[in-house]
């Protein structure tokens, strides 16, 4: 019996029906301009285009493709999953079907699932994730991933709104992105993206949840809904350290971190653990918000993070009749903060309530005022040189 319960057929039996014993097409199909016969090597090559949705790498290099069987125009692929109840089975099946049906001669695709042994699973995760005491690969200095910590002084200025919309804009611009919601006490990313799904945890590795095309992890996905988090600082730091170490992000182009407001412990923990992180400061136009945003920016500098710019949120509303900017909140907070921190204002986001118009979706449409502003910020940010620096001890 094969790994997945089917009888392993002899090599000759696995030949496509239209091949002879030498493997040549029966009747000289190739010489008559007919399609090349299907081959196991060809199918495996095509399967290199199919990725495990959680790990983000192809099924072949992860050693998940265990059998390829060809019977005429019918192809059966045996896939070893990391866990029996893997929630990604449906998507993997669909992706395999979509890819293989592009091959001439394939009419029917079957996917048989099996499960890796404990040893295979451990090997897989130590290969993709590194040792247990390390930071997740994306956060290490040598990784190409840029970590953008979105900070604000005051709560309620739209820091989380900026974090998720910036991530979405970076994704639309073709970058791979993930979000770490480090706002432990007031996590709002799951609400903004409309998913409190529990993450899949395998061998101690936590796989981010995906919603609206964005991968993210948040305390909101790890604790019961409505449960208030009343943790003392050491516990919070422990939880955060776990999120920085045990979540499997792969190595996306960007990880956007939604930081808690203010200048507290969490920000210091992130700064110490991920010295390559770059801080993006969010403020509103009002003077009091700007004053504390400067404090948050200075704290980031003190913690040796590089401040890359300022986003002024809720800058203005657009008059529906004349299209002019209405300075509802007055002030010039963005420019004041940027001046104090000696960086640029990377963008000004207009006021537009009801981001998408649907509950559980705080992403602004790309053709809205905020959507365009976020696209511009993403463009400017992606054009900046990635930070490479040594850890300050
Ligand atoms: N540009 C905008 N136009 C209109 N409403 C906005 C805008 N930006 C944010 N909001 C709204 O303001 C409120 C606060 O936003 P958000 O939760 O992003 O702020 P925050 O700074 O992350 O808050 P907290 O400190 O609670 O984490 C939300 O209801 C959000 O929908």
Nearest to 375 by CA among 311, 284, 285: 311
Closest atom of ligand 1 to 362 CA is 31
Inform me whether the pLDDT recorded for 377 exceeds 90: yes
Inform me whether the pLDDT recorded for 149 exceeds 90: yes
| Cα 159 to ligand 1 centroid, rounded to whole Å | 7
> Running DSSP on this structure, what letter comes out for residue 132?
T
Digit-coded pLDDT (tens) for 111-141: 999 998 888 887 777 767 766 556 888 898 8
**Which of 228-237, 269-278, 315-324, 368-377 is least confident?**
228-237
What was the pLDDT predicted at 267? 79
Which protein residues are within 6 Å of ligand 1, measured from CB?
152, 155-161, 183, 186, 188, 261, 313-314, 349, 351-353, 370
Closest atom of ligand 1 to 155 CA is 25
| Cα 362 to ligand 1 centroid, rounded to whole Å | 9
Inform me whether the pLDDT recorded for 146 exceeds 90: yes
What was the pLDDT predicted at 304? 85
**Shortest-distance Cα residue to atom 11 of ligand 1:** 158
User: Which residues are documented as binding site for ATP?
Assistant: 153-160
| Cα 267 to ligand 1 centroid, rounded to whole Å | 20
Averaged pLDDT, 194-200: 87
Q: Which residues touch 224 (CB under 8 Å, ≥6 apart)?
A: none
Closest atom of ligand 1 to 162 CA is 18
For tokens 């963008």, name the residue. Answer: 347
Closest atom of ligand 1 to 353 CA is 4
User: Which residues are documented as binding site?
Assistant: 153-160
Digit-coded pLDDT (tens) for 204-244: 788 899 999 899 999 888 776 666 566 677 777 778 888 88
Q: Which residues touch 88 (CB under 8 Å, ≥6 apart)?
A: 52, 53, 54, 81, 200
What was the pLDDT predicted at 294? 95
Burial class of residue 168, CB neighbours in 10 A (0-12, 13-18, 19+): buried
Give the tokens for residue 156. Answer: 């309620």
What was the pLDDT predicted at 23? 40
**Shortest-distance Cα residue to atom 12 of ligand 1:** 158
- Percent of the chain past pLDDT 90, that is, above it, reads 47
Averaged pLDDT, 181-198: 88
CA distance 33 to 182: 59
Predicted confidence band of residue 193 (pLDDT cuts 50, 70, 90): very high
What was the pLDDT predicted at 20? 40
What was the pLDDT predicted at 355? 86
Interface predicted TM-score (ipTM): 0.97
**Shortest-distance Cα residue to atom 25 of ligand 1:** 155
What was the pLDDT predicted at 36? 62
The SS3 call for residue 19 is: strand
By most ligand atoms within 8 Å of CB, the mutation choice from 161, 192, 264, 358 for ligand 1 is 161
Inform me whether the pLDDT recorded for 82 exceeds 80: yes
β-strands 74-81, 65-71 pairing:
antiparallel
Digit-coded pLDDT (tens) for 90-103: 999 999 999 999 99
Averaged pLDDT, 65-69: 93
Whether the model clears a pTM of 0.95, i.e. scores above it, the answer is no
Q: Taking all residues of the chain, what is their mean pLDDT, rounded to a whole number?
A: 83
Averaged pLDDT, 359-382: 95
By most ligand atoms within 8 Å of CB, the mutation choice from 149, 153, 156 for ligand 1 is 156
> Running DSSP on this structure, what letter comes out for residue 307?
E
Inform me whether the pLDDT recorded for 305 exceeds 80: yes
> Among positive and negative, which fits the CA dihedral 254, 257, 263, 264?
negative
Domains annotated for the chain, with CATH where assigned, are: 11-116 (3.30.300.130), 137-383 (3.40.50.300)
Report which of residues 253 and 8 the model is more confident about.
Answer: 253
Q: Which range, 76-90, 191-205, 341-355, has the best average confidence (pLDDT)?
A: 341-355
Digit-coded pLDDT (tens) for 156-176: 999 999 999 999 999 999 999
**Shortest-distance Cα residue to atom 5 of ligand 1:** 353
β-strands 146-152, 205-207 pairing:
unpaired
Give the tokens for residue 242. Answer: 């776990």
Inform me whether the pLDDT recorded for 4 exceeds 80: no
Inform me whether the pLDDT recorded for 276 exceeds 80: yes
| Cα 237 to ligand 1 centroid, rounded to whole Å | 25
CA distance 154 to 135: 29
Predicted confidence band of residue 329 (pLDDT cuts 50, 70, 90): confident
């Amino acid at each position: 019996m094969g790994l997945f319960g089917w009888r392993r057929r002899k090599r000759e039996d696995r030949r496509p029906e239209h091949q002879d014993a030498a493997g040549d097409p029966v009747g000289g199909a190739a010489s008559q301009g007919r399609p090349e016969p299907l081959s196991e090597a060809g199918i495996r090559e095509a399967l290199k285009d199919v990725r495990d949705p959680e790990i983000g790498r192809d099924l072949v290099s992860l050693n998940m493709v265990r059998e390829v069987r060809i019977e005429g125009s019918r192809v059966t692929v045996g896939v070893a999953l990391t866990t029996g109840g893997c929630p990604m089975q449906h998507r993997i099946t669909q992706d395999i079907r979509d890819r293989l049906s592009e091959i001439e001669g394939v009419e029917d695709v079957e996917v048989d699932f099996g499960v890796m042994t404990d040893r295979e699973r451990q090997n897989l995760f130590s290969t993709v994730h590194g040792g247990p005491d390390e930071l997740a690969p994306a956060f290490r200095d040598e990784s190409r991933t840029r970590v953008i910590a979105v900070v604000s002084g005051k709560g309620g200025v739209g820091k989380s709104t900026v974090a998720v919309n910036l991530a979405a804009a970076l994704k639309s611009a073709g970058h791979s992105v993930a979000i770490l919601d480090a706002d432990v006490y007031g996590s709002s990313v799951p609400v903004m993206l409309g998913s409190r799904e529990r993450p899949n945890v395998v061998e101690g590795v936590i796989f981010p949840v995906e919603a609206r095309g964005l991968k993210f992890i948040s305390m909101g996905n790890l604790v019961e809904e409505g449960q208030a988090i009343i943790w003392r600082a050491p516990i919070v730091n422990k939880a955060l350290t776990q999120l920085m170490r045990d979540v499997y992000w792969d190595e996306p182009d960007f990880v956007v971190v939604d930081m808690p407001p203010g200048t507290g412990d969490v920000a210091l923990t992130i700064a110490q653990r991920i010295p390559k992180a770059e801080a993006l400061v969010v403020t509103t136009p009002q003077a009091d918000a700007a004053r504390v945003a400067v404090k948050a920016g200075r704290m980031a500098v003190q913690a040796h993070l590089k401040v890359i710019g300022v986003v002024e949120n809720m800058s203005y509303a657009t008059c529906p009749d004349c299209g002019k900017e209405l300075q509802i909140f007055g002030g010039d907070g963005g420019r004041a903060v940027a001046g104090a921190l000696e960086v640029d204002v990377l963008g000004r986001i207009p006021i537009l309530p009801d981001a998408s118009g649907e509950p559980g979706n705080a992403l602004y449409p790309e053709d809205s005022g905020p959507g365009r502003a976020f696209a511009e910020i993403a463009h400017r940010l992606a054009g900046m040189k990635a930070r490479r620096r040594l850890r300050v001890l």
